[in-house]
Amino acid sequence: MLENDLKFLEETFKQYYFDHFDFIHIPDRSLEREYGYKKFNSGMSRHISLKTDKDLHLLLMTNLPSDVFCSNGYYSFPNLPMTEKDWKEADLIFDIDAKDLNLSCRKDHTCIKCISCGEVSLLQDVCPKCKSNKLDRLSLPCQNCISGVKKEVLNLVKILTADLRIDDKNIRTSFSGNEGFHLYVTNSPYNQLGSKERGDLIDYIMFRRAIPERFGFKKNNPSRSSFPDLDDPGWSGRVAKDLFGSKSKRSKGITKIISDGYSVYRQRLEEMGKNSIGVKIDPNVTVDIHRIFRLEGSLNSKSGLAKLACDNIEKFNPYAEACLIGDEPVEISANSPIEFRLKNRRFGPYTNEKISVPKYAAAYMLCKGIANLV
C-alpha cells in the first residue's frame, strides 16, 4: 500500500474510533479473554489482556489498528502464550460468507488485480496488460450476495434452535464488515466442546457424511416405511421435503430410490448437503477454540465497513447501516471495472479516473485495492 494511502486509512480509522467509541465495548467476562490487533502493512499482535472499555479505547488511539480482535475462548491467563493460557471454554461461533455460497452473480462483481503490474480488470485468467497469471481476486459484493448469506443465517438459526435446543436469546448475529455474517452462541452446553466435538457438530449442521441407513435405505432389504416423511422433525423432514417435494410424490420417489440403488442414494444425500439443505458455513472457524475474532463495532480493513450487530437481519442493509465513515469529499484515482453501491449511492465503473467521492467510498475503494489518493 502506498504511503499516502496508508496514512489516509490510519487517520480515517482513528477518526472513526474517536467518533464512535459508543459502538466499541469490552464483551462479557473480559478478564478471561484474549485480545489482538493488526496494523496496516504489518502482522498480528495478540495475547493482550484488557479490563475495561477505557483500556480498549487507549489501544485503539495509540496503535491505529486496521483490525481489532477478541477471543471466543475463555482462559485463566489470557495474556500468556497459548500453551500456558489454561483454556476453560469457548463461545460457539459461525462464519457465513458470500464467497462460500457459489452464487451465479459472483463472477459479475469479481475483478482481478495483477500482482506484477497493478492493473485492475474484469475477471479473467491473465492480466490483459502484462499477461501475468499472478493475480489477486477482488470482490465487490452485491445485494443478491447479502440476500443469499441472510438466507443461510436464518437456516442456521432454525437448526440451532429447533434441533440443538439453543435458546434464541443466546444467539447473536453480526454483519462481519465485509461480505458475511457471524453468529455467536453463548451460555450454552456446547461452549464446553473441544475442537473434535465441534467438528462433529459442523458435520450435522452442514449435513455432511450422511449415510443412507439413517434416511431409510437398508442395503439388504430396504423397507418403504423406513424412509423419511415430510412431517418428520429435524433432518429427516428436511431430507424428505428435498427428495419428494410433496406427500403425494413420496411413494413414487421411494420406488425410484430403491430402483436406483444404495450408492446412488448415498451420492444424492451428499449432493443435498453441498447444494441444497446443508448450511454453508466456514467449518474452520467453528472448530477453532483459540480463535481471536473481529470485535463488534470495529472496522474491517478489507472494506472500511463496521462489524455491527443486527437485531432484524432481514431488514438490515449492511452497505448503508455499516457504512459509518464520514462523507467529506476526497480526491482519488479510481480503477474499478465493477459498479457498487454504498449508502444507496451508485459508484463506478471507473477506468483510471480522477474523481471526487465521499470519504466512506474512498476508504472502501482503497481497502479493496481499486483506488489511490491523488
Count the helices and strands in the chain (H runs, E runs). 10, 18
Q: Is residue 311 annotated as a catalytic residue, yes or no?
A: no
Does residue 200 have a pLDDT over 90? Answer: yes
Confidence category of residue 25, pLDDT binned at 50, 70, 90: confident
Of 260, 282, 288, 311, catalytic: 282
Whole-angstrom distance, CA of residue 327 vs CA of residue 345: 12
Give pTM, 2 decimals: 0.92
Report pLDDT for 222.
Answer: 85
Of 91, 95, 100, 125, catalytic: 95
Q: Is 90 helix (H, G, I), strand (E, B) or coil?
A: strand
Residue for cell digits 477453532?
Answer: 288
* Residues, the chain: 374
Q: From the centroid of its chain, how far is CA 33?
A: 22
Q: Is residue 55 annotated as a catalytic residue, yes or no?
A: no
Does residue 79 have a pLDDT over 90? Answer: yes
Please provide the average confidence, as pLDDT, over all residues in the chain: 94
By C-alpha distance, which of 301, 258, 310, 340 is closest to 1? Answer: 301
Q: From the centroid of its chain, how far is CA 310?
A: 14
Q: Is residue 282 annotated as a catalytic residue, yes or no?
A: yes
pLDDT, average across residues 148-152: 96
Of 97, 125, 229, 242, catalytic: 97
Does residue 42 have a pLDDT over 90? Answer: no
Burial class (CB in 10 A: 0-12, 13-18, 19+), 169: exposed
